[in-house]
Amino acid sequence: MQKKIRLHVSQDLQQVPIISTLITEYKLVVNIRSAILHQKVIGGWFELILDGEAFNIEQSVLYLKDIGVGIWNEN
């Protein structure tokens, strides 16, 4: 299964290994379609394609929400 998400990572989460966690803990393939990272002002915006088991994708989205990552345009 694949799922496209757009997310916002605030400045205080920039040192958290979010994409690494999606790969190692949730066994996903992560394709970064686009990204903008502002270290001093607003954080970063990412468009990702998550590829893996449906359960793992849904759990990874819950993880992102739990740590405070803003998610929109989930497809």
Question: pLDDT band at 33, cuts 50/70/90?
Answer: very high
Q: What is the pLDDT of residue 74?
A: 63
Q: What is the pLDDT of residue 75?
A: 64
The percent of residues above 70 in pLDDT, for the chain, comes to 93
Q: Is the pLDDT of residue 16 over 80?
A: yes
The whole-angstrom separation of Cα 75 and Cα 73 is 6
Q: Is the pLDDT of residue 60 over 80?
A: yes
Question: pLDDT band at 73, cuts 50/70/90?
Answer: confident
The whole-angstrom separation of Cα 51 and Cα 62 is 16
Q: What is the pLDDT of residue 11?
A: 86
Q: What is the helix (H) or strand (E) element at residue 63, kind and residue range? A: helix 54-66
Name residue, tokens 């999606």.
22
Which residues partner with 47 through β-bridges? 6, 34
